[in-house]
Structure 1
Amino acid sequence: MKPILLISIFLFVFHLSSHAQSGMKDAFEKSFHIGAALNYRQVNGQETKALDVLEKHFNSITGENLMKWGPIHPELDKFNFEPVDKYVALGEKLNAFIVGHTLVWHSQTPDWVFEDSDKNLLEKDALIKRMEDHIEAVVGRYKGRVNGWDVVNEAIFDDGNMRTSKWYNAAGKDFIKRAFIKANQIDPEAELYYNDYNMWKPEKRNTAIALAKELRAEGIRIDGIGMQGHYGLESPTIEQIEASIIAISEAGFKVMFTELDIDVLPNPANRSGADIDATFASDEKYNPFKDGLPQEMQEKLAKRYGELFALFNKHSDKITRITFWGIHDGGSWLNNWPMRGRTAYPLPFDRNYDEKSDVIKEIIESRSVR
C-alpha cells in the first residue's frame, strides 16, 4: 500500500476517533460555555456516572438547589456549607466556570428571613441588613472561586410588573439594588447577573432591561441577564427568543441561557416558564410516556435542540453560556412540575446517563448553521 494512502487512512480514522470523543463543550469552545445544573447526589459522588459525562460535555456548573437560601442558610445562625464546598471543589477539579445560584429569591427562602423574633415582618432596613449579611457570608466564603452569581432571581411577573414578593413589599426595588451593591463589594471580580424565566416575553424582557439600566445609571454593577430557557417543543418561537437575545445585548448586557430544558409532555394549561407555584393535581393523561419516549417525539426533541443551538451559535458574539437545567432525564425537576410523578424527557441524556445520540448530534451539527 502506498505511503500516501496509509497517511490518508490514518488521518481519516483519527478524525473519526476525535469526533467520537469530542463533547458539546469542545464543539462550542470558541463560542460559549456549556453548563449543567447539579444536584446533591451528583456533587456528593453518589451518581458515579455523572463525572464522566461532566468531564466530556460540560465546562460550567450551576448548583440546582444547594446554594439557595433555604438549603445553605436554614436558620439565623446556621449555615450548611458542606455540600457547597464539595460543589465548588468539583468545579475546580473540572476547571469549570462555576455559577452561584441564587443569592436572593422569593421562593425557597425560610420565613425567618423576613421576620423578627416575635414573627412580625421586618421593616425595610432590617430586612436589607439581613440580606446583606447573608450575601457577605456566602459570597465571602467563595470569593475568587465562584465565577458568576445569580444575584437576584425571578423578581418580575410575566406582564412586566415587579413581583410583589416579601422582598419587594418591604423594600421596593431597593432590595435588588442593595443585593448587587453588596455582592460587588464582597467579590468585585465575579460576574453578577439578574436571572428570570419567560424572558422571551417582551413585557418581561423590557422591564428586566430597564431595571438593569437603572442599576447601571446609579453606578451599580450588573454584568448580564440570564434567560432561563424552560421551553416546549414549539413555544416560544425561535424568533421570539432571538428578539430577546438581541434586545439584551443591544442594551449592553451579556446574555446567558441559564436553565435550558425542553418539556415534551402536555400539561393542563399548556404552561411554560418556571413558576413553581403553578402546579396541578396528578393526572395520568398528562403522563403519556411512562414506558419510554416514542421515536417520533425523540426526533422532535432533537430537532428542537438543533434549532435552538443554531440560534445560539448565530449569536455567539452575544451569548456567554448555555446551561442545561440538569444532566439527565431522571434528575429533571420536570418530573414533578407542574404535577408530581411525571416521566419527563427534557435533557440530552437519559435516565442511565447515556447520550441521546440524535439530540447530541443535532446540537453539535448546529455549529454549521448560520
Structure 2
Amino acid sequence: MKRLLLGLAAFALVLALPLPAFAGGGRQPDDLRELSHKLRMYIGSAVDVTALAEEADYRQVLNREFTHITAENAMKWESVEPQRGVYTWEGADAIVRNAQRNRQKVRGHTLVWHNQLPTWLTEGVADGSIDAKELRRILRDHIMTEAGRYRGKIRAWDVVNEVVDDEGNMRESIWLTHLGPGYIADAFRWAHQADPHAKLYINDYNLEWNTAKIDTTLAIVKDLKAKRVPIHGIGFQGHLGIQYDYPADFPAVMSRFTDLGLEAAITEADVRMVMPATPEKLATQADYYQRMLATCAANDRCVEFTVWGYTDRHSWVPGWFDGEGAANIMDENLAPKPAYNALLSVRRT
C-alpha cells in the first residue's frame, strides 16, 4: 500500500509540474487545435474508422483537438479494393467527410506499400497469373483511381511507404522484384497526374536515427529530384520507445531532407513503453513527445505533426510489441496524459 501511495503521489507531481510559458510569455494553448494555430502547423491524428462511426466520445475529442487527420487503415489497398475491380470506399469517404465538416485537412495513407495488399493481387503475382506488364498497369490504375477519387480533398499523400529496409537496402517487395526501382518514380508521376495539387511524400520508420536508411532515402530523393519527379515531402513516422535512447540527431537529420527543398512531417508519432506504465515512464514518454514536436516546430519546412492514434483505447502497439503499450497521448478513457500537456508547452523557435 505504501508503494502504491508513493506511486500515486509521484504521478500527481508529474501532472502538476509547471509548464513553460508560450512564446513571448503569452498564455499556453488550451488544446491541440489552438496549439496548431499558434505553431502555424497542422497537428493531426490517425483515425480508427470504426471508432469514428460508433464512439461519440472518440469522435468528439478527435474533432475538437485536431486540424489534420489520417486514415489509419481505411485508404490502404486491401481496404478499398478487397476484390479485383470491387471498391469499398465507405470508410475512406467517411473520414474525408468528417474532415470537411470539422475544418481538418487529410493525409492520404498510403498508395504503394508492401503490406496490407489484397490477396487477389499477391496471389496473382505469386502464381504467375499477373505478369510484370499487367502488374504495372494494375499499380497505375490503383493510384489513378484512389488519388483521383479524392482529387482536391487530400492535402498530402504518402505515395510510397517503407521502401527501404533496416539495412539500408531497397526493400524486397513485389514492386521491386517485378517492376524494378523505377516503380517509385512512376508512382509519384501517376499520383501527381491524378491530383496535381496534393503534396506527395515518401514515408518511412526509423528515419529519425537509422544512418543506413537515412542515406539510402536521401539518395532516392536526390535521384527523383534530378529526374524532375514530383516529390514534395519527407515523412518521419516517429514510432519511438522509451526503452531506447531518444534520437538526439533528429533535428539535423530532418534538416538534411528539408535542405533539399522538401517539406517535412512527423506522420505517425507514438511512444511506447514496457508495461505497466508508471509515473516515471509517463514522464519520459512526455519528454519524447515534446522533443519530437519541438524538432518540427524548429524547422520552418516542417508543416505537420500527426500522432498514430491519440488514445490508448485504440492502438496498434500491444498487438505488435509483446508486453508494450500505453503509447498515446490520452488514456483509454480519453483523459490527457502528461504527454498531452507536454505538447501544449512547445513553442516555435
Q: Which amino acid aligns with 2:248?
A: E
Segment drifting more, 52-61 vs 99-108: 52-61
Q: 2:55 aligns with which of 27, 33, 47?
A: 47
> 1:264, 1:206 → 2: CA distance?
28
Q: 2:340 aligns with which of 360, 364, 367?
A: 360
Matched with 1:122 is 130
The alpha carbon displacement at 1:112 in A equals 2.2
Conserved in 2, the CA contact under 8 Å of 1:238 and 1:311?
no
Query: Structure 1 residue 249 and structure 2 residue 249: aligned?
Result: no
> 1:256, 1:111 → 2: CA distance?
31
Conserved in 2, the CA contact under 8 Å of 1:259 and 1:323?
yes
Matched with 2:14 is none
The alpha carbon displacement at 1:117 in A equals 9.2
In structure 2, relative to structure 1, the CA distance for the partners of 1:48 and 1:248 (3 Å cut) is: same
> 1:251, 1:177 → 2: CA distance?
17
Matched with 1:219 is 228
Query: Structure 1 residue 169 and structure 2 residue 190: aligned?
Result: no
Matched with 1:268 is none
Question: How many aligned residue pairs are there?
Answer: 322
Conserved in 2, the CA contact under 8 Å of 1:202 and 1:244?
no
Matched with 1:279 is none
> 2:56, 2:283 → 1: CA distance?
29
> 1:71, 1:310 → 2: CA distance?
34
The alpha carbon displacement at 1:250 in A equals 1.0
> 1:226, 1:238 → 2: CA distance?
16
Q: 1:151 aligns with which of 159, 164, 171?
A: 159
The structure with the largest alpha-carbon Rg is: 1
Q: Deviations over 1:41-69 (max 9, x none)?
A: 2332x111122222332100000011111
What is the aligned-residue identity percentage? 31
The alpha carbon displacement at 1:32 in A equals 1.4
Matched with 1:344 is 325
Matched with 1:14 is none
In structure 2, relative to structure 1, the CA distance for the partners of 1:69 and 1:366 (3 Å cut) is: same
Q: Deviations over 1:236-269 (max 9, x none)?
A: 534221221111111221111100000111xxxx
The alpha carbon displacement at 1:220 in A equals 1.3
Q: Which runs of 5+ in 1 are unaligned?
A: 1-17, 266-287
The alpha carbon displacement at 1:124 in A equals 2.5
Segment drifting more, 305-314 vs 123-132: 305-314
RMSD between aligned alpha carbons? 2.1
Conserved in 2, the CA contact under 8 Å of 1:335 and 1:344?
yes
Conserved in 2, the CA contact under 8 Å of 1:114 and 1:121?
no
> 1:19, 1:54 → 2: CA distance?
23
Conserved in 1, the CA contact under 8 Å of 2:271 and 2:328?
yes
Q: Which amino acid aligns with 2:314?
A: G
> 2:51, 2:91 → 1: CA distance?
10
> 2:240, 2:347 → 1: CA distance?
21
Query: Structure 1 residue 323 and structure 2 residue 306: aligned?
Result: yes
> 1:312, 1:145 → 2: CA distance?
24
> 2:144, 2:45 → 1: CA distance?
26
Matched with 1:262 is 271
> 2:187, 2:135 → 1: CA distance?
11
TM-score (norm 2): 0.87
Matched with 2:15 is none
Q: Which runs of 5+ in 2 are unaligned?
A: 1-25
> 1:209, 1:80 → 2: CA distance?
35
Q: Which amino acid aligns with 1:43?
A: L
